Amino acid sequence: MDLYRHPPRRGHIVCFDEMGPLQTIPRGGKSWGRKAARRPDRYERNGTLQWFGAFCPTTGLGVGKGFAHKSAVECGEFFEQYLFAFWPQGRIHLVLDNLSVHTKALRELPYRLRRRLRLYWLPTNSSWLNLIESYFSTLKQTGLDNTNYTTPEQIDQGLRAATEYLNRDPTPYGWGEKL
The whole-number pLDDT of residue 5 equals 83
Rounded average pLDDT over 145-167: 93
- Bridge partner list, 12: 92
pTM: 0.86
Q: Given this model, what pLDDT does residue 179 score?
A: 42
Determine how β-strand 48-56 pairs with β-strand 12-23: antiparallel
Average pLDDT, the chain: 87
- Output phi, psi for 81, to 5 deg: -90, -20
Write out pLDDT tens, residues 18-48: 998 988 877 776 655 555 555 555 556 678 9
User: What stretch of H or E contains 67?
Assistant: strand 61-67
Nearest to 96 by CA among 17, 12, 4, 5: 17
Q: What is the pLDDT of residue 87?
A: 94
Strand 117-122: give its sheet, edge to edge.
61-67, 48-56, 12-23, 92-97, 117-122
Comparing 45 with 50, which gets the higher pLDDT? Answer: 50
Coil/strand/helix, residue 98: coil
Number of neighbours of residue 30 by Cβ within 10 angstroms: 7
For residue 136, the surrounding DSSP H or E stretch is: helix 132-143
Q: Which amino acid would we find at residue 27?
A: R
Provide, rounded to the nearest whole percent, the portion of the chain with pLDDT above 70.
Answer: 88
Domain 2-26+43-168, second-level architecture: 2-Layer Sandwich (3.30)
What end-to-end distance do the CA atoms of the chain give, in Å? Answer: 14
Model confidence pLDDT, tens digit, residues 90-146? 999 999 998 889 999 999 999 999 999 999 999 888 888 899 999 999 999 999 988
